[in-house]
Structure 1
């Protein structure tokens, strides 16, 4: 079944680039002023941005539809605040879930006073159904246990049948992931190192969308390689941010 899978690679160097004096955003899908061919969202995965924010600066985001917002710090601690006044610090080793009803807003702040940059992922999973439960929740993960995928977020935590996993691997260690729902798709993002996933070579900050398969196989090609994996619904009635 894995051999029949279809896939699209999103290389690091081909991501959209939005930047000003104090913020840089590298976007995988069409977002904001970045519009190009063949960068439509992948199923319910509407936004996949890697942002870098200068010390003391903040960004404000508006969610126009019911959306599960996942914030994943890569370097440094960030401060998160939503439109209702809920706020929290998010550290590396944590994922923030903000289930945001349409027309919600939130703010991400670099709390450092000196020249320290913060680097983080913003991941938006769109939910088309009208039944949507808003929430804010912080999830922890521990990569000290290597060579396995760790479950971070399950479908019971979300408003949809989506899952989030992360794993840290030694070189030449292999793994197989079997989908919870064979109608879903998989999005893999390499945070560090290099992997071969479904016979495709991916380096740090490369992404891979995979569908039409029951499982995927992968192999780490470097020590300390880290992969982030999302299983997400493929079909929704919104295909543009």
Structure 2
């Protein structure tokens, strides 16, 4: 088993007033040759977006983009004709494919938004752009992982154009479990949203992360109430 540890305080950071962003991987003004990606996982941005502000219309292509709203809401619009509100507990996926324009805006006058934006390289390039979203707030079962995104199309999960699995769970203190890779050969990027835990031999606190690869499984032990996001990904970019 091999691991790479990313401390929360060592992430890139950018503050432009209405947007405060932490970058797990090189992005925007943050450049680190040792932190460009983890397998096909290219971006994990931990964003604070002030009320009444957001990202104007901008383009993407050939990237699989996931937005997870942790607090507040975002209003999404895109060149495919989609328009809607993504609220806390919602997950949004967008295959940029051959090219798409979109905007994300905090529509609230009194509530800030906290969200994760996650990019993975596509399995197949230049596909037709696609958008979907789903609410998972009432799907979580305490002390279990819930699958948010899968490479297999299902009514219960969202789908991305890549062999990646996103799982999230809320756990009590003192829980011990084994995470087994769902797809052989994949690695797992474990992002501790809240709490403290020992994962694959590393002690993690809030917003710390560990990438785990070249193993079939690894151990998780929670020291306090914890919320854990696992992004399982192919380790080689095709």
* Common topology (TM > 0.5): yes
Q: Helix, strand or coil for the counterpart of 2:173?
A: coil
What whole-Å deviation, never above 9, does each CA across 1:36-88 have from its counterpart, x for those lacking one? 23112111111100111111111147555411111011111111122333112
Residue of structure 2 equivalent to 1:174:
176
CA distance in 1, matches of 2:49, 2:98: 25
Q: Residues 12 and 64 (structure 1 numbering): CA distance in 2 closer, same or farther, change over 3 Å?
A: same
Contact kept, 8 Å, 1:63 with 1:102, in 2: the verdict is: no
Residue of structure 2 equivalent to 1:77:
73
Q: Residues 148 and 176 (structure 1 numbering): CA distance in 2 closer, same or farther, change over 3 Å?
A: same
Give runs of aligned pairs for residues 1-241 of structure 1, distance below 5 A. 5-60=1-56, 62=58, 64-114=60-110, 116-127=111-122, 129-130=124-125, 132-141=127-136, 142=138, 145-156=141-152, 157-223=159-225, 225-237=226-238
Contact kept, 8 Å, 2:140 with 2:146, in 1: the verdict is: no
After TM superposition, the structure 1 stretch with the greater mean CA deviation from structure 2, 20-29 or 131-140, is 131-140
CA distance in 2, matches of 1:92, 1:37: 33
Runs of at least 4 residues off by over 6 Å: none
* Structure 2: unaligned runs, 5 residues or longer: 153-158
Q: Residues 62 and 29 (structure 1 numbering): CA distance in 2 closer, same or farther, change over 3 Å?
A: farther
Aligned pair count reads 231
User: If the length of structure 1 is used for normalisation, what is the TM-score?
Assistant: 0.90
* Structure 1: unaligned runs, 5 residues or longer: none
CA distance in 1, matches of 2:134, 2:40: 21
CA distance in 2, matches of 1:31, 1:105: 19
- Higher relative contact order, structure no. (Cα contacts within 8 Å, ≥ 6 residues apart): 1
Contact kept, 8 Å, 2:173 with 2:222, in 1: the verdict is: yes
